[in-house]
Every structure is written in structure tokens, then in C-alpha cells.
Structure 1
Amino acid sequence: MGKMMVKYNLRGLFVILLTLIIVLLVNFDGVIHLINKSYIITGGYNYMVSFFICLTLATMLFFYRRLGVEINIDRKLYTIISVFVLLFTLMVVISLYNYCDYKKLFRDIFYLASFILFVVFFKTLNENKKDCNLFCDSFIFLNVIIIPIIGVILGNFDHEGRFTGLQMAASIFGVSMSLLFMLVFCRTYNIYYKLVLLSLCILYIFLSGTRIALLNVFFVLFFLGVKKLIKHKVLIKGLTVSFFGFIILFIIFYFDIFNLDIIDKFRMFTLNDGGSANTRFDWYYDLFLHLKSTLFIGGKGGGYSEFVIGNLPHFDLLRFWLDYSVVFIILFFILLFLVVSLFSQDILLLGLFSIGLFILLSLHNMFQAPMLIFTYVFVLFEMRNEK
């Protein structure tokens, strides 16, 4: 009995240590900047950090297992790992026979691997309720209360006056706060504590000046509302009609591209918009033309998107499609449904939610930002209990 108590106490201390390590890893930009003031380019060390995150998390999972926690690789998890292996193989083969920036290929592979390791991590936590609650509550507390306070003390505001927290980019901080808002909203807390956390998340979103962050909040509230108010059978019918409607619109749009140049007209309409939105649309337009030249198959090789526009596209979905092909996108969406099935029985609805949220997050380079990858998996995990 005494040995069991000692082992459990060690596990509790280990979970707290693990929480601190993960918080540091997902806020790596700000941590590196504290150490090296000359570091001013967001994600400058991404290709190294992605590997370091995978190595650290795999090591921590190994020690966690040594403390008596079983990491059960069941059929569902085995299938998820198998799909990851297919994605990995596809990325490597396409890049070997086409354009390839090996640093960017390396970065993409290890960030995708970190996504899988985060899934394994939350599946393991799900089987140990006390550890799970300790980790989840500690992570939220540190990132909603402690980290922003540190950011305020350090005066972390960018040249436009937008608050960056302990990130280098205000947009990443703002979007991460929208995900933390979702987590707080879904978890069971004292009503006053929950209101304080939710209010802080909204405050930080506004201070970051990030539009997509607010859209994320509306998206999750809409999703939860749909889940509560519409009966499942009616919802399935609605989703089926919406799905086939989308397919029909896509076909019409696809053929219209070759006849009426709708994309060109929309681009001209946005030329007066100015700012980052117009710049990014120009990038999307350029990548779209490259996709069009491949008959929307893509598969030009790792880092090709960044090579042709000279910058990060700020749209992971489009970047992955052009770099690694439409097959990659299909497999990745299948992967998301498999991840949802690991945590919940409501596979269809949560699967569609996971794709919608990924598309929103991909507009801020989700697979270049460990904080977004981790909190994204955290949100999918937390949605398992939301009725």
C-alpha cells in the first residue's frame, strides 16, 4: 500500500513536471527570445524544434510508462499510426522525385509526428482520470493566467501594439486563446472561476487583434449549439444534403474556373482591401494557379509552396495540397476522423468539426505552431464529454 502511494505521488509530481515541459515547448518562440534577444523571426528554428518536441514527448511518455501507466496501442491507435506511416511515405516519395527543401520536409514530418504523439499522450491520459484532470487544469491555468502575466511584465507587444503573450506572433497567441476558450467552456469548473477564465481569454483575443480567433469562438459555440438543439437523425439528413450541395457547387465552380475566371474577378474585388488579408489572398491565388496547372492533383514536393511565393502561405491546407498532393489531404482528413473515433462515439459530427477547425487554424500556419497543434488535439479530446 505504501509503495502504491509513493508511486502515485511520484506520478503526480511527474504530471506537473510534464505540464511545465509541454507549456515551455508550445511557447518555444517566446522562450527562445528570452534567451536570445536577436531571435526575432517567428518559427525561425521550426525544423529543429519539431524534432526536439517529438524526442522530448516520446521520452516523457517512456518515463510515464515506467511509473505504472499502461500505454495501450489498440486497433484504433494502430490504424492512426498506420495512416501516419502512409502520409510519411507519401511526403518522402513525392519530395524525392520533385522539388525538395529538406529542412522544410523535415519540419513537416516531425510536426505531423508530434500531432500523433499528442494524440497518444491524450489517449494515455484518458485512461488515468486523476492524472488527466491534474494535467488539463494545470495546463489551462498556466496558459490563461500565468503565461499572459509574464507577457505583460516583459512588455510583449508587437510593432502594431498587439499583445503576443509568450509567443512571437500576436496571431498565434490570439488563436491559441480562442482554443483555450473552447477548453474552459467545455470543462467543469466553479462558475465564477470559469467566468474569470473565459473573460480573460476574450480579453486576450481582443488585445491580440486576431480576427480568426473570434471566428473560432463563434464556430465552436455554433457547433455546440447545433449539437444540443438538433436531433441526431435530423442533423445527419442536413449534413448529407449539405455535403452533396457542396460537391455540386464545387463541380460548378471547378468548370467555371476554366470558362469565366471567377477567381480573377474575386481577386480584383479584394485589391482595395489592403493589409495582410489582401497579401495573403495574393499568395493563395498564386498557389491556386500552381494547383490548377497540376489539374488540382498537387504533389510538387516539400517546401515548394514557400519557394514559389517566397513566404509562408498562411494556409496549411493549400500548402499541403500543393506540396504533397490531394491524396495527402484525403488521408489527413481520414486521420482526423480516426483521431475523433479514439475519443468519442459521435464520429460524424465531431469529425466534421475537426476538419472545420483545422481549416480555420491552417489560416495561421497550425503546422508551424506547436501551441496550435497541441491545443487543437486537446480540444478534440475535451469534446468527448460534451453532450
Structure 2
Amino acid sequence: MMYVVSRSGVILLFRSISPAERVRMSWKSLWLPLIGPVFCIVIQTIAAAQGVYPLPYTILTAAIPAQMVALIVAGLSIPADLMTTEVRKWWMYVIFGFIAYPSQSMLFMLWLAVFPRLTEVLQVLGSFALNGLLAIVAIIMERVGLWLGLPAYLLYEIKVMILFVSFLYTAALLSSAKSMTVLALMLAQDAAKAVAIFVKMCLHLLAIIESEHIAENDVPACAPCCSCFQSLLSPSELLGLSRRKWSLMLEAQDRLSDIFTIFQLHTRNSLQDVDLALADVRLLGGFTRCIVVFGLVELCEVLVPLLYMILVTMLHSPWGANREYIYLFNDMELGPALVGNGFGLLIEVLVLLLLQCAFSQLIGFNLLNFAAHVLRMDFNYWNAILSTCLEGWVVVLLSHGGHDLEAIREWLSL
């Protein structure tokens, strides 16, 4: 299990190397992750010799230290000609991320322990507070990446990993919701994350179009379209500004529709000969970076309730009826556990189908086909990243859902 986590870190580290040079690191991405489990075993063996076994809170005491060692060795193994300033900064960022995000799992564990005991009001307020905290952490991580001058596509890709983890833990909490109101609000919060990505994509495309108009001197550089001047505008000026932004979004829609219409006239091989204007290339690049995250996040939202329903069903089956050892599932009834995530699965499937129809009608873009192509093109990368998220979630629910949660509840009762 530690190998899976270490491999995702190593592959994520090598992601900053150009694809042409990344081939040189393919074998290293297989054997370097072995350092993680070896070091993890060393920590647990030494602890066991001192009479501390099994290690409580293994995420903090063994997994994170082992991952740090694996990432440090992986960084040192990169050839000098590939260790650019950008790669070195990304190396620091990945190490920082693998300290920050596993540490959040401890916060989720605490939340899983106390959530079933809360009242309906506290469940709702606590859900909003936790999602707000995760949003703040994600913003901080993005700001750190921008401060380091890291490429936008790397910062966009890592968001899939962050959101997938939050969706997984929300699925585990849905079965403990004390009313349909709490359940509906929790599902709405998950949907809001996808809406936020979509809005950010629209704003990103809007910024690209606006920068083109500024470059063409259509709008002066100090025009009041900047958000810092909007508070100084009169209502009529604000209305005119909104209409302008809406017209720019329609322009982006028309241009993207024209681009995809051109693509449909070509085969896979002849696409290399397509001649696009530089402005359209920039617009398409901005759209692609955003839609990769959006498409995969939507697929994750469909998969998460399905995965949780499979896990709960297995624990309640005659062959997996050992849930009495796991505090999260000991007193759980199968019906309510399936109902909450069943609603979530139905809603997410409908949302995905509606988005597919909307993108197809507005710009002639096939969201499902594109997401499938992204997964096929970088299967090893996405398989490693998403498998790590899923494994970490299962470890917290099953392995840490026993003695660790009991210790947390005893501490809280004091």
C-alpha cells in the first residue's frame, strides 16, 4: 500500500519534466517508489522493538516520513541536465503537498469520529466549515504554486487529487446525515465545487478575450472593467459592463464552436495540418487546461458514491461481515447507507449528462469523449494519482476506523 502512495509522488514529481525527456525516468518511476515501503517498514520495526506496535496514527508516524524520504531520493535521482529551476521548485512543492494533504486526512478522521454525534444544525454548520477550510487550503496551495512560478497546467492537474479526496470523505458522511435536509445540503456543497470550477473556467476564458481586446486597443489598459473599479461605477455603467462581459463570453463560445467545427472536418492524422490563429490557440489552450480538471472532477463525482456503496455492501455481505471491528460501520444499517449515496449517484449522473448535452449544443464539444481520451493518454499518471486518493480513504475508513477513532472519541469525551 505504501508503494502505491510513493509511486504517485514520484510520478507527480516527474510530471514537471518535458514528455520527450520523461521517457528517461520511466524505469526510475517503478523502482524508486520501493524506498517508501522499505523506510516505512524500518520505522514500524524500530517502533515494535520499543514496544510501540501497532503504531497509532500511522499516517503521521510512518507514511508521511517514508514518503518524504522517497521524494527526496527521487529528486536527487533526476539527471543534472533535467534538474531545471522549474523542476526544482516543483520538487519542493510536491514535498510540501505530501505533508499538507495527508495531514488533512487526520482532520477528516476527527470529523468522521464526531459527525454522527452532532445535531442536525451542527452537522450542516460543520460541513460548511470543513468545506470552507478545504477551499482555503486549496487557495493557499495555488497561491504558493503561483508564487514559485510553477506552470498553470501542473497546478490545475493537482486540483483533481484534492477534490477527489474531499468527495470521498463526503460520501462516508452522507450515511450519517440525520435528515434529508442535511443530506441535500451536503450534496449541494459537493455540486458547488464543480460549479466553482465551471465559473472559474468562464472567468479564465473571459480574461483571455479581454486581454486580446486590450492588446488591440479596443479597451484602454486602465478601463473600469477591472474589478477594483467596479465599486465606483454607477448602476447604468455596471449594467453596460455586464453586457460587455456577456458579449465577450458569447464571442468565446462562437470561437470555440468554430474551432471544434474545423476539428470535426479532419482525421486524427490531418489535425496536425490545421492552421489556427494565435489568438484561437491561446483560447483553446485556456479552455483545455480548465476542461481537463472539470471533466475528471465530474467523473470522480459519479464514481465516489458508487465506490462507497460497493464498500458498504461488501462489509454487510456474509463474506465481509467483519464490520463489528470498525467503529464507522459497526452500527450502520445497509439501507440508509445506500440511500444517501444512491441519491448522490443519481444526481451526479444527471448533472454529467446535462453537461454533456450543454457542451455539445453550445460549442460542439464532447465532454465524455474528451475525459476518456485524457485518461487513456495519461493512464499511468491518473491511475497512480487517483489510486492513492482511494487507498488513503480506505485506510482511514477501515484501518484507522477502529482503534484510532476509539481513541479520538475517548479524548473528546474528556
TM-score (norm 1): 0.35
- Return the index of the structure with the highest Cα Rg: 2
TM-score (norm 2): 0.33
